[in-house]
Amino acid sequence: MRFTLADYGKVFSTRPRGAELLAVVESQAPRGVVVEIDFEGVQSVSYSFVDEFLGALVERASRPNAFDVAVINAPTRFQRVIDGSLASRGLDDALLAA
Protein backbone atom coordinates (compact mmCIF):
# COMPACT_ATOMS: atom_id res chain seq x y z
CA MET A 1 0.00 0.00 0.00
CA ARG A 2 1.37 3.41 -0.92
CA PHE A 3 0.44 6.48 1.13
CA THR A 4 1.36 9.62 -0.81
CA LEU A 5 1.78 12.57 1.56
CA ALA A 6 1.52 15.11 -1.28
CA ASP A 7 -2.13 14.11 -1.64
CA TYR A 8 -2.66 15.85 1.71
CA GLY A 9 -0.46 18.92 1.23
CA LYS A 10 3.06 20.09 0.53
CA VAL A 11 4.14 21.38 3.97
CA PHE A 12 3.71 19.41 7.20
CA SER A 13 4.60 21.02 10.49
CA THR A 14 2.52 20.13 13.55
CA ARG A 15 1.87 17.22 15.87
CA PRO A 16 -1.91 17.50 15.39
CA ARG A 17 -1.46 17.18 11.62
CA GLY A 18 0.83 14.20 12.19
CA ALA A 19 -1.76 12.54 14.42
CA GLU A 20 -4.48 13.22 11.83
CA LEU A 21 -2.54 11.54 9.02
CA LEU A 22 -1.47 8.70 11.32
CA ALA A 23 -5.16 7.92 11.87
CA VAL A 24 -5.76 7.96 8.10
CA VAL A 25 -2.93 5.50 7.43
CA GLU A 26 -3.95 3.20 10.26
CA SER A 27 -7.54 3.09 9.02
CA GLN A 28 -6.39 2.13 5.51
CA ALA A 29 -3.46 -0.22 6.19
CA PRO A 30 -4.31 -3.89 6.00
CA ARG A 31 -2.40 -6.16 8.35
CA GLY A 32 0.62 -7.93 6.96
CA VAL A 33 1.38 -5.50 4.13
CA VAL A 34 4.16 -3.00 3.56
CA VAL A 35 2.95 0.57 3.91
CA GLU A 36 5.10 2.83 1.74
CA ILE A 37 5.14 6.43 2.93
CA ASP A 38 5.88 8.45 -0.21
CA PHE A 39 7.45 11.89 0.31
CA GLU A 40 7.56 12.82 -3.40
CA GLY A 41 6.26 16.35 -3.93
CA VAL A 42 6.52 17.32 -0.25
CA GLN A 43 8.39 20.58 0.27
CA SER A 44 8.87 20.68 4.03
CA VAL A 45 8.40 18.59 7.18
CA SER A 46 9.05 19.47 10.80
CA TYR A 47 10.46 17.18 13.45
CA SER A 48 7.19 17.39 15.40
CA PHE A 49 5.14 16.26 12.40
CA VAL A 50 7.53 13.43 11.51
CA ASP A 51 7.67 12.22 15.10
CA GLU A 52 3.91 12.22 15.58
CA PHE A 53 3.19 10.71 12.17
CA LEU A 54 6.05 8.47 11.10
CA GLY A 55 7.64 7.80 14.49
CA ALA A 56 4.31 6.72 15.96
CA LEU A 57 3.44 4.74 12.81
CA VAL A 58 6.69 2.77 12.92
CA GLU A 59 6.24 2.18 16.64
CA ARG A 60 2.74 0.80 16.09
CA ALA A 61 3.88 -1.26 13.12
CA SER A 62 6.31 -3.10 15.38
CA ARG A 63 3.39 -4.72 17.23
CA PRO A 64 2.57 -8.35 16.43
CA ASN A 65 0.33 -8.91 13.39
CA ALA A 66 0.69 -5.32 12.25
CA PHE A 67 2.20 -4.03 9.00
CA ASP A 68 5.68 -2.97 7.89
CA VAL A 69 6.65 0.60 7.01
CA ALA A 70 8.96 1.79 4.24
CA VAL A 71 9.84 5.39 3.37
CA ILE A 72 10.25 6.26 -0.29
CA ASN A 73 11.29 9.42 -2.13
CA ALA A 74 12.45 11.20 1.04
CA PRO A 75 15.13 13.80 0.31
CA THR A 76 18.29 13.69 2.43
CA ARG A 77 17.14 16.71 4.44
CA PHE A 78 13.98 14.79 5.44
CA GLN A 79 15.91 11.61 6.15
CA ARG A 80 17.88 13.34 8.92
CA VAL A 81 14.61 14.36 10.60
CA ILE A 82 13.17 10.85 10.16
CA ASP A 83 16.32 9.23 11.57
CA GLY A 84 16.26 11.57 14.57
CA SER A 85 12.64 10.75 15.36
CA LEU A 86 13.18 7.00 15.11
CA ALA A 87 16.37 7.15 17.17
CA SER A 88 14.60 9.05 19.95
CA ARG A 89 12.01 6.25 20.07
CA GLY A 90 14.65 3.50 19.97
CA LEU A 91 13.51 2.41 16.49
CA ASP A 92 16.72 3.06 14.57
CA ASP A 93 16.45 -0.03 12.36
CA ALA A 94 12.67 -0.36 12.19
CA LEU A 95 12.12 0.95 8.64
CA LEU A 96 12.32 -1.31 5.65
CA ALA A 97 14.79 -0.28 3.00
CA ALA A 98 12.92 0.98 -0.03
Domain map (residue ranges) of the chain: 2-88
Average confidence (pLDDT) over 39-50: 97
One-letter amino acid at 36 equals E
- The pLDDT value recorded for residue 30 is 84
pLDDT at site 96: 58
Predicted confidence at residue 43, as pLDDT, reads: 97
Name the residue among 30, 26, 36, 34 with its Cα closest to residue 5.
Answer: 36
pLDDT digits (tens, 9 = 90+) for 13-31: 999 999 999 999 999 988 8
Q: Express each pLDDT in 47-77 by its tens digit.
A: 999 999 999 999 988 888 788 899 999 999 9
pLDDT at residue 97, rounded to an integer = 53
Cα(45)–Cα(64) distance, integer angstroms = 29
